[in-house]
Structure 1
Amino acid sequence: MDYNINFPHLHIYLDHVGKNIMIGNFSIAYYGIVIAIGMLAGLGIACWMAKRTGQSSDTYFDLALVAIVCSVIGARIYYVVFRWDLYKDNLLNIFNLRQGGLAIYGGVIAAIITTFIFARVKKLSLGLLFDTAGLGLVLGQIIGRWGNFFNREAFGGYTDGLFAMQLPLSAVRNSDVTQELLDHVVKVDGISYIQVYPTFLFESMWNLVLLICLILFTKHKKFDGEVFLLYLAGYGIGRFWIESLRTDQLLLPGIGYPVSMALAAILVVISIAWIIIWHVKHGRKQAQVEQSGEK
């Protein structure tokens, strides 16, 4: 009965949501399948945008070969560093991705570094690469978050709101269950459920809206890199709010503040400041040109 996932106020009751699928003698985690689908879809939309903007789609196939691997490694390192308590007694678990444990911001940081190096080596426009590949990153996040659904992870605290999600207590990690959740355990047919915010769903939907906005904005951008900066700002705003709801926050050592909230706030400020500074400088240059023309 650990397979049940319910949304009682929406009258949605899912009785057989497994974590793995058997193919022959092999067990493959749905988490991995969903992440892979997200990566392929992300590559697809990046290639689509590349063609729309007169670029070669081959560039993004080449970038994906490197960036995807580096992003997964970066996402894992980020997670392990801030959840060292889960791995210090069994280091081999660091290499076991079947149970989840990928931090998106770690993947984003790795992707930024990889794209920067790729642009330098290939002598390509870094801003244009970021703008195009960034759309793929957002779509990958939209789909990839559903891997958390299958893994029963990345959920928020207790809620009895419209989108409340019920998970069997026995199906989630003990470290993700707060006292508040235990105080509001719901029993249905003898099974104990915790009732939580489906934060994976909130983030997926937020990113879907963000992706639509970024695609619409692309033809109106004033400089290469502006779309990606808007992604960092838009995602950061949403992530700051959503992270505040989660029970599995990665915390800064010695401070106890959620690292993703801190990083989100920093990236929002930097991105918005960068865009404002560019437009101010460009506005001044344009004004000087117009004044020179009048003379």
Structure 2
Amino acid sequence: MKELGLFFGEIDPIALKLGPIAVHWYGVIIGMAVLLALYLSIREGERRGIHEDNFYDFLIVALPVAIICARIYYVVFEWNYYASNPAEIIRIWDGGIAIYGGLIGAVLTLIIFCRVKNLSPWLFMDVMAPTVIMAQGIGRWGNFVNQEAHGVQTTRAFLERLCLPDFIINQMKIDGIYYQPTFLYESIWDLLGFGILMWFRHKNHLFKRGEVVLSYVIWYSFGRFFIEGMRTDSLMLGPLRVSQWLSVFLFFFGIGLILYRRYWHPNNPWYLDGNVDYD
């Protein structure tokens, strides 16, 4: 296995080589995040009356769909390049996926899956939402290892004033230039959201069914708007990044939908009621 070199310099993105096969730290980190999210979702699902097999079945279907949609999302907004290089569209191993595209694909898959399984899509998303934002927060460390998803140029002195450990500061030095660790900002924001959702969703008569996942949407999109504005590798659409436009839409959509459902559907079950009265 490659040495991480956490305190001595740049981290090797290759964790392990098995002959011609290279195992990247990015994949290892993402895989660990997904497994932890699955474990926590199963535990919470049992409390809410959802059998664990449903989570395994969903992951098998949703994961490849999410990856494909994440790639399609990226290619669509980089079409000027891929139109001239169509053979590279499928080269996902060279990078180029967008988390929002993956989330869209996963949600569409979930809606169909829950209809087939006769589960409440809202409840299923409520159970998974905190673990998804947790996985996103952990997954950003894969970007850290790859030295991507960083912000604008900065100085070592600025990074030291943030009281960052040397291994982060050293990894933020790319081709002799230091960059803002936007991966870290989003990771902290995501993990903070995870803690808040995990704490408050078990409070009696606080969340109606569907409001945990909508709170996730509001929290994530709010932070993502500002952090995305710091990045240098974003897909652009006019004066703002694509993800910023989508963040604005999702932020107000989440708030509006909570208010709409509270007013027009006041009898919706509480989240803690679990898998009853399928809606």
Q: Separation in 2 of the partners of 1:31 and 1:99?
A: 12
**Which position in structure 1 is the counterpart of 2:113?**
118
AA at the equivalent of 1:119 = C
Separation of aligned partners in 2, 1:279 and 1:41: 32
Superposition TM-score, scaled by structure 1 size:
0.78
Asked if 1:151 corresponds to 2:137, the answer is no
Q: Residue in 2 aligned with 1:267?
A: 250
Q: Does 1:67 align with 2:73?
A: no
Correspondence 1:206-245 to 2 at 5 A:
206-220=189-203, 221-245=206-230
What's the offset of the Cα at 1:53? Answer: 2.1
Give identity over the alignment, percent: 36
Counterpart for residue 94 of structure 1: 89
- CA distance in structure 1 between the partners assigned to 2:251 and 2:8 by the alignment: 37
Alpha-carbon spacing, 1:41–1:93, altered in 2? closer, same or farther (3 Å): farther
1:197 pairs with 2:203: no
CA distance in 2, matches of 1:37, 1:284: 39
Unaligned runs of 5+ in 2: 269-279
- Residue 249 in structure 1 maps to residue 244 in structure 2: no
Q: Does 1:53 align with 2:53?
A: no
C-alpha spacing 1:92/1:32, structure 2 compared with 1 (3 Å): farther
Does 2:130 match 1:135?
yes
Aligned counterparts of 1:121 and 1:100: Cα–Cα separation in 2: 34
**Aligned-residue offset at 1:13:** 4.7
Cα drift, residue 30 of structure 1: 2.0
TM-score normalised by length of structure 2: 0.82
For the aligned residue pairs, the C-alpha RMSD in angstroms reads: 2.4
1: CA distance, partners of 2:267 / 2:125: 26
Mapped contact 1:199–1:246 kept (Cα < 8 A): yes
Structure number with greater Rg is 1
1:27 alignment partner, SS class? strand
Q: Which amino acid aligns with 1:233?
A: I
Task: Measure the CA separation in 2 of the matches of 1:96 and 1:244.
Answer: 27
* C-alpha distance in structure 2 between counterparts of 1:83 and 1:167, whole Å: 27
User: Which whole-Å CA distance do the structure 2 matches of 1:87 and 1:238 have between them?
Assistant: 30
- Offset at residue 280 of structure 1 (A): 3.8
